[in-house]
Amino acid sequence: MLSSLSFLMGRSKHSLGSPFSTVFFRAGRKFIGATLVKNFSLFFEALARETCLGVFVEKIRGKNAHHIVESAFKAFSRCLRGLIDAQKRDLLDFNPVPIRSCEISRSTNETQIDVRLILDNGGEASINSGLVTLDDLLGTIAAASNISLDVECKGDLWIDDHHSAEDAAIAFGQALKQALGTKAGLNRMWSVEREFDGCSVSCTMDISNRPHLEHDLQLEECDEEMVGDLSIEMIDHVLDSIVMNAGMTVHFQQQVPGGKFSAYTISKAACLALGECLKFCVAIDSRRGGKTASSKGTLNV
């Protein structure tokens, strides 16, 4: 996802949004293709006025005008759908058949790892990586995403934590990608904010097959070398290994960058947000009729 946007909607008597053109495009731009830039502002202002919905649109990142416009309207449609669904039924009231699962083994001179993952009807985790902090963080993702995850890792911990942490994250990401298959029928995109011990982190995710991790987590400012028994630099490496091997685009934002939080607190909040996003992204939307959520018709090319 080359453009990342935040889109919020709710019942209101007044629009909450800023002018679309001045927020999203460089000052002075008049056209996107053959379309007047000011028409985007007019559209959202009229929509908010006529529906009595509060609308707030914010660009997080992105410079390509085509992708910004495309992402904005995709975010709008998903947000509106979510607003309607929230008033009717549980968003996850789906029972996809067959149950999506994966078992993989990964063996190198440094580690031996076995992973068993069940996306549907899950929620239980048994993780034994030899690193208590890693077990906790992977278990947090599994619990928040309502997936079953079993991980057994035997690694060269007598050297350091690097190989075990990296390879366990790689294997988890690979199992997740295999369990998702063609990704047909998925919700695919979601954004959520989660809090742990006062630290709030938002996560925006796209199960895109275009892997990329972007974040502003203030881990380097914590002045810590270790998070329990895990090196602090491995937090970023674990998250990146999961994202790259699962084929996801993920953007984390720490909502209070200046706050004094421990590296564990930040990591825990990020994993809670990642798991919550994953829960909604991998859920099957029965209204798609098994079709892929992409104008291309596939995410595999």
Q: Which residues contact 79 (CB under 8 A, 6 or more apart)?
A: 7, 8, 9
Say if residue 199's pLDDT is above 90: yes
- pTM higher than 0.85: no
Please write the tens of the pLDDT for every residue from 66-125.
Answer: 777 777 787 777 777 777 666 555 444 444 456 789 999 999 999 999 999 999 877 789
Cα–Cα nearest to 79, from 58, 98, 61: 58
DSSP 124-156: -EEEE-S-HHHHHHHHHHHHHHT-EEEEEEEE-
Q: H/E/C letters for each residue in 79-110? A: HHHHHHHHHHCCCCCCCCCCCCEEEEEEECCC
Cα–Cα nearest to 237, from 160, 177, 298, 294: 160
Domains of the chain: 4-88 (3.30.230.40), 101-177 (3.30.230.40), 189-287 (3.30.230.40)
Please write the tens of the pLDDT for every residue from 41-74.
Answer: 788 778 777 777 777 777 777 777 777 777 778 7
CA distance 8 to 82: 10
**What are the structure tokens assigned to 176, written together?**
């997740």
Share of the chain above pLDDT 90, in %: 49
Quick one: angle between helices 233-246 and 263-281, nearest 10? 10
Can you give the pLDDT at residue 5? 46
